[in-house]
Structure 1
């Protein structure tokens, strides 16, 4: 991982796992919204037989609950970069915004974000493509002159 990703407290594998869980939740959430126009007399009250709650949401919530506040803040900052609120170069600003708003429940905020998995993946991609800062080195020659390398 290049750029700021090297200093994340959350592993890339964990990020990928959360992206997958978020996409599963988004897919089930969209499908579950299709019965909103249902009429109990038309559907023979089949909805009463469906389980309450969304297992994909519970899995996503459980995965997020395992993270510490730093990792949750990093995920939220990546989501903000992926959503276009901040550029990859402004990741630190996004992290500061999320951290200063940490009194909000980050898990609820993340779960409530539409297309969370896609946004986090986009944020990671943008961070991976961020050019590292110029790593030139100043060298002092035998005459005391400074040169950039």
Structure 2
């Protein structure tokens, strides 16, 4: 049986925050129009430099130990369909070999990160984990 290097609840909470970040748009709307109530929603959905949610996610991922970071990347790859749960240990090792830069930057650069982490976690739970 495979052991995940983190609590599944922690990953589920991370996915919720990742989805919130990914829902934001990078574009700035110069003229929001004339309705102040509607304008507030558009501003809320804009990602700003130094966005605390993105910063918190980056800090959380980068504070993980190497095995947890490798596991997070492996979950992403499994969820994306690149590998199967049975290849868990080899996939973590490959993630370790391919580390170039921040893991958080790699993961936050993936548009469907939340969906793929969720799918990967589901596949791993079906496969059987401790």
Shorter-chain TM-score category? Answer: 0.7 to 0.9
CA contact (8 A) 2:61 2:103 kept: no
Which residues of 2 match residues 93-108 of structure 1 at below 5 A? 93-108=90-105
**Partner residue, 2:5:** 9
**Partner residue, 1:145:** none
Say which structure, 1 or 2, has more relative contact order (CA 8 Å, 6+ apart).
Answer: 2
CA contact (8 A) 1:89 1:130 kept: yes
Contiguous gaps of at least 5 residues in structure 1: 133-149
TM-score (norm 2): 0.75
Structure with the largest fraction of strand = 1
CA–CA distance in 2 between the matches of 1:87 and 1:8? 15
Q: How many residues align?
A: 116
**Partner residue, 1:25:** 21
CA contact (8 A) 1:80 1:123 kept: yes
CA contact (8 A) 1:22 1:60 kept: yes
TM-score (norm 1): 0.67
Q: Tell me by how many angstroms 1:93 deviates.
A: 2.3
Contiguous gaps of at least 5 residues in structure 2: 33-38, 40-45
Cα deviation code 1:85-111 (max 9, x no counterpart): 111122222212101112432121111
CA–CA distance in 2 between the matches of 1:125 and 1:55? 28
Which residues of 2 match residues 57-136 of structure 1 at below 5 A? 57-130=54-127
Larger gyration radius, structure 1 or structure 2: 1
Q: Tell me by how many angstroms 1:79 deviates.
A: 0.2
Q: Secondary structure at the match of 2:127?
A: coil
